[in-house]
Amino acid sequence: EAQVWRLLRHPHILEFIGIYKAGDHMYLVSPFIENGTLAEYIATHPNADRIRFLSETADALAYLHAMKIIHADVKASNVLISADLRALICDFGLAKWMPSITASQSKGAGTVRWQSPELWGDAPRCFASDVYAFGITIAEVLSGNVPFPELLVDWAVVRAVLEDDVRPRRVPTHSPTGESYQRIWNIAARCWRRDPTARPAMKQVFEAFGTTAASADQDVDEVHDATSSPSGTIEIIPPSLRSTPEATPLDLDPPKTEDTHWIGFTPAFGRQNGKFQPSKATNQAYGAFSDVKMCEVIYENGKREIVSCRSIVYDPRQIPLPKKTRQR
C-alpha cells in the first residue's frame, strides 16, 4: 500500500506523510482528518454538496488511472472530507499498478456491494472495475444509504446483480435544496453497465460532472476503453475543467521491493524527521477495534501536528503507540 501511496500527488488524494517503524511494528502516517469519511459526513450534514464531493472523487480516480493504478475498493467510506471540505481518496491497501498485476492478484477485489459483476467470475481487475464501483458510490452518496439497503445479506446482492441485473434505485431525484439529480443518475447508470467495455473511462466521467445538463449524456457516452491502460499522457483534464492545480507524478513504474528509502517522513512535503509523542488528548483509537490511532508529531523544527497512524499489523490490540522516530 505504501509503495503505491507514496508516489501520489493530487489535491483529492489523502496526503502520505511517511512510514514510521517502532520495534516490529510499522505505521502508515497521514494527516488527521477530523470530518471523517464521506459516508459519515453526509449522514450528519444532509445539505452537503454531494455532487461536488463526487466530482472531486472522480477527479482523483482519473488521476490514479492515468498513473496506471487501480484503486480496487472505491466507496464512500474510502473517501475522507478535509477541514476545508475537500474530498480525499484514501485506503490504497488493494491498489495495484496495472502492469504489475498477476492473474492470481487480479481476482475478486473490493467490497461486495460495490464490486463489479465480472469480478465474481474469472475476469481480472481493470480500470472498468473502479468505474463500476464509482457508479455504485454515486448511488450511495446521493441516497445516503449503503447500496441495495433492501438486501440484508451480501449473497443476496450478488444473486440480484448477476441473475437479475439489478442496480440501485434512482432515489432521491433531487437534493435537499431542490437541485435535480437526474444528470448524476445518468452518469451512474453508464458507470455500472454490465459490459466493462461499455463503461466510460474515469476521465470522461469526471468531465461529465463539469458539462451542462443538456450535453452530459452525450459526453459521458464518448466511451474510451476503460478495461485497458490509458495512454502515457499525464494530462488528465482540460484546463477549463480543472478546479485545482494538477499534481505532478513522480514516476509511472512500481518501486522495487528493495526500495526502502521512504522509511521516515517524506521530504517532498517539507516535513523534517520528528518524534511521536502520545498524549492524553491524542492517545485514542478511532474505534474499539480500529487499527488507526491519533498521535502528535513534534518535528525537529519545533512544529507540531496531529496525525493518523494506521498499523500495517492487523490486530490493533497488539500495537503499541510509536515512541521514537526512525533515524535515517
Asked if 63 contacts 10 with a C-beta cutoff of 8 angstroms, the reply is: yes
Task: State residue 80's pLDDT score.
Answer: 96
Residue closest to 52 by CA, chosen among 142, 115, 120, 171: 142
Check whether 224 has a pLDDT greater than 60.
Answer: no
Burial tier of 246 (Cβ tally within 10 Å: 0-12, 13-18, 19+)? middle
> 3-state class of 25 per DSSP?
strand
Residue recorded with cell 499534481: 247
Check whether 271 has a pLDDT greater than 60.
Answer: no
Check whether 312 has a pLDDT greater than 90.
Answer: no
Check whether 95 has a pLDDT greater than 80.
Answer: no
> Domains of the chain: which residue ranges?
2-220, 264-318
Could you tell me which residues come within 8 angstroms of residue 83 by beta carbon, excluding any fewer than 6 positions away?
33, 34, 35
Asked if 263 contacts 21 with a C-beta cutoff of 8 angstroms, the reply is: yes
Q: Return the CATH superfamily for domain 2-220.
A: Transferase(Phosphotransferase) domain 1 (1.10.510.10)
Among left, alpha and beta (phi > 0; psi -120 to 50; other), residue 321 is beta
Nearest-angstrom CA–CA distance, 149 and 159: 14
Task: State residue 121's pLDDT score.
Answer: 85
Could you tell me which residues come within 8 angstroms of residue 75 by beta carbon, excluding any fewer than 6 positions away?
39, 111, 114, 133, 136, 137, 140
More confident residue, 89 or 283: 89
The pLDDT tens digits of the residues spanning 5-52 come to 778 889 999 998 887 766 677 778 888 898 999 999 999 999 999 999
Task: State residue 211's pLDDT score.
Answer: 63
Share of the chain above pLDDT 90, in %: 45
Residue closest to 236 by CA, chosen among 265, 266, 202: 202
Q: State the Rg of the chain over Cα.
A: 20
Asked if 294 contacts 284 with a C-beta cutoff of 8 angstroms, the reply is: yes
Label residue 297 by pLDDT band (50, 70, 90). confident
Check whether 64 has a pLDDT greater than 90.
Answer: yes
Task: State residue 184's pLDDT score.
Answer: 97
The pLDDT tens digits of the residues spanning 148-196 come to 999 999 999 999 999 999 999 999 999 988 999 999 999 999 999 999 9
Can you list the alpha helix ranges (DSSP code H) found in the chain?
2-5, 38-44, 50-66, 127-143, 154-164, 182-191, 202-209, 213-220
Residue recorded with cell 482540460: 238
Check whether 226 has a pLDDT greater than 80.
Answer: no
